[in-house]
Amino acid sequence: MKSYKKIAILLTALGTLSVSSCKKLLEQSPKANITPQFFTTSGGVLGGITGVYSDLRNLWGTEGFLYYCQFGVDENIVAGGSSTGGNAFATYNNYVRNYTDVYNALYGLFSIAYQDINTLNGVLQYGPTAFTDVPTRTAYLAQAKFLRAFYYYHLVETFGAVPLHTTFITEPTLSDSRAPIADVYALIIKDLTEASTELQSRPGETIASTGAVSPFSGHAATKATALYLLSKVYLTRGWSSAAQPNDFQNALTTAQSLINNRANYGFPNGNIGLYANYADAYNPANDANNTEDLFAVEHSTDPKYGDYSASPSSGKVNGWAWFFRPNYPTVNASYPSSANGSPVMTRDLTNGRPFFRCRPNFEYVDNIAFADKTNDFRYWNTFQTTWIANNTGVTTPRGTLTVGTDTAIWMPPYDPGATKRAAFKGVIFMRPSLATAAQGTNANPFTTSFFPSIKKFDDPNRPNVNDASQRPNVLFRFSEVYLIAAEAAFKMGDNATAAAMINVLRTRAAARPAGAPAAPSNAVTNMQITPAQVTIDFILDERSRELYGESLRWWDLVRTQSLVRRVKLYNTEAANNVQDFEVLRPIPQTEIDLVTIGPKFPQNPGF
């Protein structure tokens, strides 16, 4: 489903949907090509929902979306390949005026969300007449309720007060206004509460009344998806100015209900549950029926329905396997000298395409979040620290590299010592503070181009070296439900429950994948925390360990009112620039300019 640039009046984007192609094209004409009658057919309802699912590929997994989910936080700093806009997001240095990339990122979420919300409003308003069978009608419309809530949740947590539209717009308008945050949350919770009972329990399940198989298979929303998001919405609202007295209790109750009833949900070939080993949650072999996957944006090599194109650099692509990659093919045999220009590595499928947009903030990642690398194996499951030689005939000052055997690049999170550094035939990179302290042979500091890479999102099965990943972008993971419950319990003053929830994940984190060094005999015991250790900072550090790089961090810091404090504490690139008002993103100016009748549409404070 191809999405075209939208030229539309603020928030009233009307798509042109055909059942055969599901294409959306916004017209400058003041009349809509989608009429209410379109949604009175089962094909129109299915086409509308399918088109919305396709549009998610315009957001999660793309470079622009990476910028405002992952940049300007405590975990990450900018890499050498980032654009002007990426650098602006990462450093908060004049970032609303580095227009092109920032505009594209923010405009993408704002405009796509409201275009799709209008489609979903049409489905919900006119779709009931498309079905005579009540269970079928319920199953279809529940998808629209979930997706509308999903979009409004991300809008309100990104931009604050936003317009609230619940009916299908057929006539363009030049006026609009923001709704109170409380009203937006009320709609989100209503939609998710209903969806959590009306959605399918498992993707593609049979609708009992008709015997028909639901068309919403694969990674489409289920009851568990809605329960996850409902618990997180309660949690987020509880921190906000619209908080209600029972929000944290509702967040905890909903999360625990999902945990306790997990056997009722899942893919057809497996119930929801934690893998015994953290690494298995990210194993490509488990993508089709991942027991920890509650919701994902699907990709495939199908050019028509999967939006696949060979070796793309933009568009509806999953770049998670690219963006965190260092520029490993440019490390030469005599590094840091340029005397020998032979690269120790060449680009290949296994090691991926080095887009190098984002790199770990290793003074935080190494020293704080992943400080325990002995009992907790999540650091080693998250980051690639060795590159095995794949380029023939390469000789460094310390010896000739044997392809397939020798390590060409090594990035240990510690100083291996002078003797090992001098004997190691490949090239070593270390955290800058360690490299400075070592001051010896083969002790190179990380740079904006050379740094450990996230390996959780690797896709060794993509067709070509420069192809984007065809793996799903997993947005909701079951492991996060424990962290939502822990945060809610902490906010209620119930640190015993918070610690118990966190310890489930920490127990699992001590496990080792096959072939890894054995864990210490007391690793599980050492991983347990006490209620006294639970703080919001500990929870945020635990979220880093469990969910590093998963397009959640900016929202996590904003929700917990920790963004400015933790950026100033840990991120030297952004510490001097970040300001209190930047806990919201600016409304795209183009959207503001489209309101020409009635009160001027307000920008967020500070911008």
pLDDT in tens, 159-216: 999 999 999 998 888 999 999 999 999 999 999 999 999 999 999 999 888 888 999 9
Burial tier of 341 (Cβ tally within 10 Å: 0-12, 13-18, 19+): exposed
d(CA 509, CA 499): 15
d(CA 295, CA 213): 19
Count CA atoms within 13 Å of residue 182 on its CB side: 4
Give the confidence band of 14 by pLDDT, cuts at 50, 70, 90. very low
Strand partners, 24: 3
Q: Picking from 263-267, 493-497, 527-531, which range would have the lowest pLDDT averaged per residue? A: 263-267
Query: Is pLDDT at 601 greater than 50 in this prediction?
Result: yes
pLDDT at 312: 85
Q: What is the mean pLDDT of residues 18-39?
A: 50
pLDDT at 563: 98
Q: What is the mean pLDDT of the chain?
A: 90
Number of Cβ atoms within 10 Å of the Cβ of 41: 16
Percent of the chain past pLDDT 70, that is, above it, reads 92
Give the confidence band of 99 by pLDDT, cuts at 50, 70, 90. very low
- Based on its alpha-carbon atoms, the radius of gyration of the chain, rounded to whole angstroms, reads 25
d(CA 296, CA 60): 9
pLDDT at 5: 28
Pairing mode, if any, of strands 473-477 and 293-297?
Answer: antiparallel
Q: What is the mean pLDDT of residues 599-603?
A: 93
Strand partners, 454: 383
Burial tier of 470 (Cβ tally within 10 Å: 0-12, 13-18, 19+): buried
Query: Is pLDDT at 21 greater than 80 in this prediction?
Result: no
Percent of the chain past pLDDT 90, that is, above it, reads 78
pLDDT at 359: 95
d(CA 406, CA 397): 15
Q: What is the mean pLDDT of residues 551-560?
A: 97
pLDDT at 338: 87
Give, rounded to a whole angstrom, the gap between the first and last alpha carbons of the chain.
Answer: 35
Give the confidence band of 97 by pLDDT, cuts at 50, 70, 90. low
Q: State the residue for tokens 């890499």.
A: 79
Alpha helix stretches (DSSP H) within 474-562: 478-491, 495-509, 523-527, 536-547, 553-559
Decide: helix, strand or coil at residue 153. Answer: helix
Q: What is the mean pLDDT of residues 228-240?
A: 98
pLDDT at 103: 57
Specify whether the CB–CB gap between 381 and 454 falls below 8 A. no
Amino acid at 30: P
pLDDT at 591: 85
Burial tier of 219 (Cβ tally within 10 Å: 0-12, 13-18, 19+): buried
Q: Picking from 8-12, 399-403, 479-483, which range would have the lowest pLDDT averaged per residue? A: 8-12
Tens-place pLDDT, residues 337-357: 988 889 999 999 999 999 999
Amino acid at 202: R
Decide: helix, strand or coil at residue 88. Answer: helix
Global model pTM greater than 0.75? yes
Query: Is pLDDT at 18 greater than 90 in this prediction?
Result: no
pLDDT at 33: 62
Q: Evaluate the CA torsion angle 455, 290, 157, 103 in order and state its sign.
A: positive
Q: Of 90, 33, 488, whose CA–CA distance to 256 is shortest?
A: 488
Query: Is pLDDT at 6 greater than 50 in this prediction?
Result: no
Task: Please give the C-alpha separations between residue 154 and each of 60, 133, 409, 539, in angstroms, as whole numbers.
Answer: 12, 33, 40, 21
Length of the chain: 607
| Neighbouring residues of 347: CB distance < 8 A, sequence distance ≥ 6 | 328, 329, 353, 354, 465
| Neighbouring residues of 434: CB distance < 8 A, sequence distance ≥ 6 | 414, 415, 443
Tens-place pLDDT, residues 282-340: 999 999 999 999 999 999 888 777 788 888 888 899 999 999 999 999 999 999 998 88
Specify whether the CB–CB gap between 229 and 146 falls below 8 A. yes
pLDDT at 87: 84
The first and second tokens of residue 338, run together, are 């340029």
The first and second tokens of residue 170, run together, are 């057929």
Cα 216 from chain centroid (whole Å): 22
Q: Evaluate the omega torsion of the peptide bond into residue 128 and state whether it is cis, within 30 degrees of 0.
A: no
Q: Which helix (H) or strand (E) holds 359?
A: strand 358-360
Give the confidence band of 107 by pLDDT, cuts at 50, 70, 90. confident
Q: Of 600, 598, 561, whose CA–CA distance to 583 is shortest?
A: 561
d(CA 596, CA 75): 41
